[in-house]
Structure 1
Amino acid sequence: MKNKTYLKASFREITQSKGRFIAITVIIFLGTFLFVGVKATGPILNHSASAYVDGQQLADLQVTSTMGLTEEDLDVAAKADAAVESAYQFYAAVNSDEVVQVNSYNKEQSLNQLLVKEGRLPEEKNEIILDTEAKNYGYHLGDSYTFEDTDNLSNETYTIVGFADSPIYISVAERGYANVGSGVVSYFAYVPENNFTMDVKSILYFAFDDVQTLETYGDAYVEKMDSHQESIEALFADRPQARLAEIKADAMEDITPAQDELADNQAKLDDAQTQLDDAKAQLDEQEAALSQLPQAQQAALNSQITAGKAELAQQQETLDEQQETLDDAQQTIQDNLADLDDLEEPTYLYNQRKDNPGFQEYGGLSDRIAAIANVFPVFFFFIAALITFTTLSRMVEENRKEIGTLKALGYGKAEISIKYLIYALLSSTIGIVSGAVLGTELLPRLIYFLSSDRYLLDGIRVYYVWSPIILAAGAFLIAALGACLFVLIKELREKPAQLLQVRAPKPGKRIFLERITPLWSRLSFNQKVSFRNIFRYKSRMVMAIIGIAGCTGLMVAGVGLKDSLGSVTSKQFGPITDYQAVVTLADSKDATLEKAETTLADDPAVNSTLAVNSETIEIRPKNQGKQSLTLMVPADNDAFAEYVHLTSPDGEELSLTNQGAVLTMKYAELYDIHVGDTLTFYNSDQVSFEVNISGIAENYLGNSLYLSQETYEAMTDSTSTPNTLLLKSDTMSQKQEETLSTTLLKTDSVKNTTFLSTQINTQNESMGNLDSIVLILVVLSGALAFVVLYNLTNINVSERIRELSTIKVLGFYNKEVTMYIVRENIVFTLFGILAGYAVGYFLTDFILMQASMENMVFPLVINWPAYALAGGMTILFTVIVMFVTHVRLTHVNMIDALKSNE
């Protein structure tokens, strides 16, 4: 009966202090909700993408060749321990605005299955299915679709029978690049394979059994796929040379008969010329003998000789034309032979899922969320746990009299502790369970919903990530139960008589302000009391400032993250990268360069161009995987300074000299490279070179190594031949960019034109995906700030209720009684906001360091609205809490409060 009554009293404690119980529960809920939700979002987003592409059986690896793939390539691929499929593929320019990637469709194919969104898959030879993106270009089911000027298909006109998504493309905007039209793929199309007239396949797809159960973005998958790629590269290691030999042999099969036929024709022509020359000689002899003939015969023969010469002249003209034709044919053959001699080995390209631009962007989003989750929620969580610990420890201290009474009545320490442990356990359990469930179920869905317009995924697949749930549960249970046990152990050591006595108030002391007489003498009585109370209860002051500073700092960091992530493009493009497009040439010949430069010079929007040698190189740090970066060698060092502004992170201007190379700062930081160090890199032929690092350059997107032409040629013992043009231009519309790109591609001297405006837009949209996360962080931080302010004020009022009742009895008005508390809160709030600004700055900096990737550095940028929003919201919450406190204090029964310890 005794225990049952005490248990009822334990639950009655909850009903009697509903505000405190709800505040503790809400604090624990918010901490768990954000911590678990954000920590689970990255894995859930990655798992959703992995489940989608696995369900559509996306290939793990694809192999392409710059010269196509023959039966011999397919035979080599068959030796791999993997499922292999091949396909035809080419690019077609429907018009100046549309470039379509045409793929072969085979009913028997199992890899890269299309997800039909409308209609059906092709069944007849004259049917086609389009990318869902094609609907934006006005296509509908049942429409006719026509390819013009293509020799790769037997049919030109098809009927649209469906629209579909492909697991190859999970980004709405990204479809890759092409060598026709504007150079940017608008959408894809699939037509039955039996329509293709191409001699060689275009692409090979590989799927490996041992990675089917692994997460696409997981480390285990990446490691296994790197190993598989190495094995596939080894299989195809000899194919470039063999393929070149095959092409030359095939070409010679056509050239040799042509040479033989040309030789026969030349011999016949030579015989004809000899006969003609003999005929001319005979006529000349007859003409010379005319003078010996009678006058009558001379006239007749002269007429015949003249007619014969005219006929021979006509025959000579015909022979000359035939000889010219033969000479042209001979020159063509010589040119073809020269081209064969200059023909380089084909390049075999290997691309995993992670190399897909859409996958990179989506994975980057998950990585940034994960980086935020590693810092922001943890700090949020720490503040929540600290306030929970403070609240529960104060609750136990307030119940000293009850604990003393129970102890005097014979209750044991364990029995007394149960009440408070139930209180702590119940509030913690409700907060943890609700926070974990809602955090897992809501946050990932909300973030996916707010960013889903950029990705083509078949929904989100939520599952419970147990590690953050266990961490949250453990930390809050330790904070809640630990607070109770910590104070209970201390209180239960005292005797009942000591516990029943009112704890002596903390003695007042002179504070530092009192020693500043000019200032202290000008303060009112109420102000002096407030300042004395602030410094009298230092622990209360410190706890309030820490709580407010933490919440303010979280809001500053939330908005600061958006400012910093969104400033990458403004920091990179203009201040560092100061050109508008990159034109990739078809080859490194001087004639190709001149043709491209001439075409660009004719465009009035183009201001200048600079030829550079640009290639992808590798560095292989010890005990780390190989990393790629761009090597750039300008033809003119002085002009290059107008296109790329090289400065050190300290602001010192850098230039390309013969002393070494300039490396961008991210790789220098990652691999501990300093000025004066030697860097070893490998070119595309896997030949290694060493170069001295003469400078480290500030850079935010990508990684590059810059070399002067003299340094490059001395180091490689070869000539640097430009293969790229950097282009400076006026601001161009998208239509102008597409027109220029199309014009350049038609010259056959340009492989591709990449406008930086596209990269800027893509980067800004990618960073825009984090807006939803930032909004969530700011809202939850604001909610925590409000609860913290309310809770601390509630504790303050509860602890000082007798003091407040006393001054109310002494004649203070209600507003004055409220200001007695609020005045302290204002001081705490102001100091907390100022401290929170510093906390937010350093917290943002730390999160950005964690979020930076190998190819991206985030600058620390926090604009003034971040500080204004954080400070303004904190002040607003203080005002709301002040109003709530005022209402509560006006209803305090002064007599009951003063008799509470009697």
Structure 2
Amino acid sequence: MKNKTYLKASLREIFYSKGRFIAIILIILLGTLLYVGIKATGPILNHSASRYVDKQKLANLQIVSTGGLTKEDEQLAAKIPHAQVESGYQLFYADHEKNEVIKLYSYAKKNQQNQLIVKKGRLPKQKNEIILDEKAQKEGYRLNQIFQIDQPDQLEQKKFKIVGFAQSPLYINTEERGLSTIGNGSVDFFAYVPESNFSSDIKSVLYVRFTNVQNKETYGKDYEKTMDENVEKTEEIFADRPKERLIEIKRDAEKKLLPQKSEVLANLAKLDAGQKELDQAQKQLEQQSQTAPNPQLVQAQAELAAQQKELNGNREQLLSAQEEIAKSEKELHELKTPSYTYTQRADNPGFQEYGDLSERIAAIANVFPIFFFFIAALITFTTMTRMVEENRREIGTLKALGYSRFEISIKYIIYALSAATLGIVLGSLIGTHTLPRLIFVLSSDRYNFPGVQAFYLARPIIQATIAFLFASLGAALLVLLRELHEKPAVLLQPKAPKPGKRIFLERITPIWSRMSFNSKVSYRNLFRYKSRMIMAVIGIAGCAALMVAGVGLKDSIASVGDKQFGPIIDYEATVTLKEQPDYAAVSSVISQDEKITSYLATMNQTVELKQKGQANQKLTMMVPEDRQKFENYLHLKTGGETFELPEDGVVITQKMAELFELEKGEQLTIYDEDQQTFKVKIAEIADNYLGNFLYLSKEYYQQVRTKEFIKNSYLLKSQKMTKTEEKKLAQKLLSTKQVMNTSFMSTQIKTQEHSMENLDGIVWIFVVLSGLLAFIVLYNLTNINVSERLRELSTIKVLGFYDREVTSYIFRENFVFTFLGILFGYGLGIVLTKFILDQASMESITFPLVIRPGAYLVSGGLTILFSAIVMVATHFRLRHINMIDALKSNE
């Protein structure tokens, strides 16, 4: 009966202090929601992407060769362990009238890989039918419309009927379609036509799926490791194939040339025989004309002249054909070995961008939620500690009545467990099912995925459970252990109030003497209860810091492009040339464009850094033709200070220097594209935010490489160009047949902006949740403050203070807490933002620390607003204090 009554009393405690109980639940809920939700977001997004590409049977590997792919290649690919191989055709088609570039694929019912998702219409059934990219609908294409492709060398038909629009797992991004080597340099959309339309036996691509990576997370480390092994085995199997393919190409070409050559030689022999006959006939006519000239001889001579003319014409044609054959033989002799390229899923347009989004979320999740979590746990710990301390008299009474320590503790265990369990369960449920879906919805317009499949991650839930059980139950038990060791008589006595002391402000007479009585009391109370002040300031500062960090993250992430393009990269386009190009033809097109103001030739190469214990890193080596002019195109900076490209030594960008712990003056080993090494001296380390670069002068390059400088690209400076003008310039340059691609900085800026926009939603989620936490923390701390000081507040009411004056009594203290909390929060927010950005920065992206005034206004403004709302609610509570009950003696 005794225990039953005490249990009822325990449950009543929850009801009587429901404000505090709900506040604890909400703090734990918010902390768990953000921690578990954000920790689960990256894995859930990646898992959903993996399930999508697995369902559509996206190829793990694509094999492409510059010499095309034959049956022998397919048979060789079939020998790759765990491989399922399919072949297909793909080509670029440029419609110059519409200024569009289409990537055309073959479609066959038998093929299982890269399955299309039909969004409208159906798949092709007839030879004259075509299905287009869903993106083509935005360009105005409609069902049953005739779509023309003028590729007589590769397709048997020109006109096709549009029967559908689809999505392809090869393109998970809704906008990006990759680059092309024709037209304007970028693909506008893709299309599929039946495979029977392609006239060549030589295929364009081999699609390979590996059974040993099925059901593995496509963005996971296990998948990457297994795929690296698969690619390595593939390269081993195809190691001799380029040379074999070269022999095949030469053999096939020689088979075609040999009959042509034999025919030309035979015809030349016939012409020589005919020429001899004509010469003899001519001699006979000349002899006859000398003895007896007549009109018949004149006619015969005219006929011989006509035959001679015809023979000469035939001879010229045959000699021209012979020259062409000789030219073909020379080209065949000089033909380079075909290259085989092995591209994984990460190389598909938009695929890596989605993975980077998840990585950034995961990086932010390692810091922001943990700090949020810490503040929530700290406030929970404080609340539970104060609750037990408030019940000293009750604990003493129960001890005097004979209750055991365990029985007394039950009440607080029930209270703490109830609050923690409700908060953790609700937080885990809401966080897991809400945040990943919300973040996906905020970025879903960029990707083709149908949705996310939420699942629970055990580790963050267990971590949240342990932390909040310690913060709630642990806090209660720690105080109980201390209190229960006291004797009942001691517990029944109220704690002696802390003695008043002179505070530092009192020593500043000019200020102290001008303060009102109420202000003096408030400031004495602040310093009298230092622990309460410190806890309040820490709680408010933590929440303010979280809001500063939230908005600061948005500002910093959005500033990557602003810091890179303009302050560092100051050119508008890069023109990449083919091998041994006609420089004059390219320069002519560039010079004739009215928008181009200047250009600079450079040599760009992809090089690699290697170090034991560090992943290999690729970076772009840029060597300008003119070192002095280079500073007009790229501004090299260190800590904001600009410097020229040194004549001796290299400049490496900051991220690579940090990863490999490099310093000025050190020797560095570089691996080129052929894995040949050369050593350079680091002259400077430059600021950089996007990509990784190595800059060196033409003279230093020739010195360290003992090779001639060969320019393979141009940097273009121009007036502001429209998208149409950029496409026209790219098209003109590609039409020279000397250019591989033209890359515009405007496209990179737009891509970067879109990529960073995906994080905006996440940042605002942080800000909103931080604001909610700040509100609950302020409410909870104020509630504790009032509960602990009921007798004090009742006393001043009895002394004649009006309700407004009593509220002001508390408000002054809260104002100081809030003001100090905001100031400390600003400083803490800067540190927190910097730490998160360091964690979120990746191998190719460095985030600058940029916190605009808006971040401080949002943080400070919301904190002050919440403080005002809490004080309004407190005012109404203070008005209803029962002075008689509150002033009753503890004895």
What TM-score does the superposition give when structure 1 sets the normalisation length? 0.95
Structure-2 separation of matches of 1:238 and 1:791: 73
Q: Does 1:384 align with 2:405?
A: no
After TM superposition, give the deviation of residue 721 of structure 1 in Å. Answer: 2.0
Deviations 1:516-535 (A, max 9, x none): 11221121111111111111
Q: Map of 1:369-768 to 2, 5 A cutoff?
A: 369-589=361-581, 591=582, 593-649=583-639, 651-657=641-647, 659-768=648-757
After the TM superposition, which of the residue ranges 381-390 and 834-843 deviates more from structure 2?
Answer: 834-843
Contact in 2 for aligned 1:654/1:695 (Cα 8 Å)? no
Name stretches of at least 5 consecutive residues in structure 2 with no aligned partner: none
Distance 1:721 1:257, change over 3 A: farther
After TM superposition, give the deviation of residue 63 of structure 1 in Å. Answer: 0.9
Partner-residue secondary structure (3-state), 2:721: coil
Partner-residue secondary structure (3-state), 1:647: strand
Partner-residue secondary structure (3-state), 1:626: strand
Aligned residue identity for 1:88? Y
Contact in 1 for aligned 2:172/2:349 (Cα 8 Å)? no
Aligned residue identity for 2:708? T
After TM superposition, give the deviation of residue 549 of structure 1 in Å. Answer: 0.6
Contact in 2 for aligned 1:96/1:738 (Cα 8 Å)? no
Contact in 2 for aligned 1:588/1:722 (Cα 8 Å)? no
Deviations 1:160-204 (A, max 9, x none): 222221111111111111222222112222222111112311111
Distance 1:878 1:629, change over 3 A: same
Partner of 1:255 in structure 2? 257
Contact in 1 for aligned 2:631/2:644 (Cα 8 Å)? no
Q: Does 1:181 align with 2:183?
A: yes
Aligned residue identity for 2:560? V
After TM superposition, give the deviation of residue 624 of structure 1 in Å. Answer: 3.7
Aligned residue identity for 1:410? G
After the TM superposition, which of the residue ranges 57-66 and 633-642 deviates more from structure 2?
Answer: 633-642
Partner-residue secondary structure (3-state), 1:705: strand
Deviations 1:371-413 (A, max 9, x none): 1110000000000000000011001111111111111111111
Partner of 1:78 in structure 2? 78
Q: Does 1:803 align with 2:830?
A: no
Q: Equivalent pairs: percent with the same residue? A: 58
Distance 1:900 1:105, change over 3 A: farther
Structure-1 separation of matches of 2:605 and 2:71: 31
Contact in 2 for aligned 1:96/1:182 (Cα 8 Å)? no
Contact in 1 for aligned 2:549/2:830 (Cα 8 Å)? yes
Deviations 1:626-667 (A, max 9, x none): 33222222222222222222222462414042x222222111
After the TM superposition, which of the residue ranges 107-116 and 6-15 deviates more from structure 2?
Answer: 107-116
Partner-residue secondary structure (3-state), 2:643: coil
Q: Does 1:363 align with 2:355?
A: yes
Partner of 1:155 in structure 2? 157
Partner-residue secondary structure (3-state), 1:357: coil
Partner of 1:845 in structure 2? 834
Contact in 1 for aligned 2:645/2:695 (Cα 8 Å)? no
After the TM superposition, which of the residue ranges 874-883 and 605-614 deviates more from structure 2?
Answer: 605-614
Aligned residue identity for 2:600? L
Contact in 1 for aligned 2:803/2:879 (Cα 8 Å)? yes
Contact in 2 for aligned 1:96/1:739 (Cα 8 Å)? no
Partner of 1:109 in structure 2? 111
Alignment: residue pair count: 889
Distance 1:314 1:613, change over 3 A: farther
Aligned residue identity for 1:607? T
Partner of 1:164 in structure 2? 166
After TM superposition, give the deviation of residue 119 of structure 1 in Å. Answer: 2.6
Structure-2 separation of matches of 1:839 and 1:283: 113
After TM superposition, give the deviation of residue 706 of structure 1 in Å. Answer: 2.0
Contact in 1 for aligned 2:170/2:349 (Cα 8 Å)? no
- Which of 133, 139, 142 lines up with 2:141 in the alignment? 139
Partner of 1:91 in structure 2? 92
Partner-residue secondary structure (3-state), 1:228: helix
Deviations 1:586-635 (A, max 9, x none): 3233x2x2211211222111222222222222333213443322222222
Contact in 1 for aligned 2:50/2:218 (Cα 8 Å)? yes
After TM superposition, give the deviation of residue 275 of structure 1 in Å. Answer: 6.2
Structure-2 separation of matches of 1:669 and 1:309: 90
Contact in 2 for aligned 1:682/1:689 (Cα 8 Å)? yes
Aligned residue identity for 1:122? P
Aligned residue identity for 1:113? Q
Structure-2 separation of matches of 1:611 and 1:254: 41
After TM superposition, give the deviation of residue 340 of structure 1 in Å. Answer: 2.8
Deviations 1:27-49 (A, max 9, x none): 00000011010110000000000
Contact in 1 for aligned 2:577/2:741 (Cα 8 Å)? yes
- Which of 223, 226, 244 lines up with 1:224 in the alignment? 226
Partner of 1:197 in structure 2? 199
After TM superposition, give the deviation of residue 739 of structure 1 in Å. Answer: 1.6
After the TM superposition, which of the residue ranges 750-759 and 431-440 deviates more from structure 2?
Answer: 750-759
After TM superposition, give the deviation of residue 682 of structure 1 in Å. Answer: 2.6
Distance 1:679 1:150, change over 3 A: farther
After the TM superposition, which of the residue ranges 545-554 and 192-201 deviates more from structure 2?
Answer: 192-201
Q: Does 1:856 align with 2:845?
A: yes
Contact in 2 for aligned 1:588/1:721 (Cα 8 Å)? no
Partner of 1:876 in structure 2? 865
- Which of 787, 790, 793 lines up with 2:782 in the alignment? 793
Structure-2 separation of matches of 1:509 and 1:661: 65
Partner-residue secondary structure (3-state), 1:769: helix
Aligned residue identity for 1:93? A
Structure-2 separation of matches of 1:598 and 1:173: 33
After TM superposition, give the deviation of residue 864 of structure 1 in Å. Answer: 0.8
Distance 1:55 1:830, change over 3 A: same
Partner of 1:56 in structure 2? 56
After TM superposition, give the deviation of residue 515 of structure 1 in Å. Answer: 1.2
Q: Map of 1:31-42 to 2, 5 A cutoff?
A: 31-42=31-42
Structure-2 separation of matches of 1:40 and 1:780: 17
After TM superposition, give the deviation of residue 17 of structure 1 in Å. Answer: 0.8
- Which of 809, 815, 822 lines up with 1:820 in the alignment? 809
After TM superposition, give the deviation of residue 326 of structure 1 in Å. Answer: 4.1
After the TM superposition, which of the residue ranges 313-322 and 363-372 deviates more from structure 2?
Answer: 313-322
After TM superposition, give the deviation of residue 272 of structure 1 in Å. Answer: 5.5
Q: Map of 1:207-286 to 2, 5 A cutoff?
A: 207-270=209-272
